[in-house]
Amino acid sequence: MSSFAPLFSAVRSGMPLPAGSWHNARDESGKTLLHVAVMFGRRDSAWKLLLVCPDLASMPDFDLKLPEDLARDDATKLLCETARKQIYVMHDTL
């Protein structure tokens, strides 16, 4: 988990996301980078994460909360909801 510390630090501080395993990164409470981005109101980071790893929108943390449940503003919540529903529709049509 400690190898992901620079990724979470960058998201919390609003810095550009460094290269790394964005999809697998989780903190001690099971939150993904997308959870942390929406909790801290980093809409640009959330947008970038959803473009690269759209399935992060459907991954719950250890408390079974989705990123949209933790969003600070309505625009970020809508962004996460739309990405999650798009993934559902893609898998439903297969």
Q: Tell me the pLDDT tens digit for each residue of 8-66.
A: 888 888 787 777 778 888 888 899 999 999 999 888 889 989 988 888 999 999 999 99
Domain around 87 = 2-93
Enter the pTM of the model: 0.84
Q: CA geometry: angle at 91 spanning 89 and 94, to 5°? A: 110
**Confidence label for 78 from pLDDT (cuts 50, 70 and 90):** very high
CB under 8 Å, gap of 24 or more: what pairs does 82-87 form? 83/50, 83/54, 83/57, 84/57, 84/58, 86/54, 87/54, 87/55, 87/57, 87/58
How many domains, in total, are found in the chain? 1
User: Residue 76 sits in a domain of what CATH number?
Assistant: 1.25.40.20
Q: pLDDT category, 94, cuts 50, 70, 90?
A: low
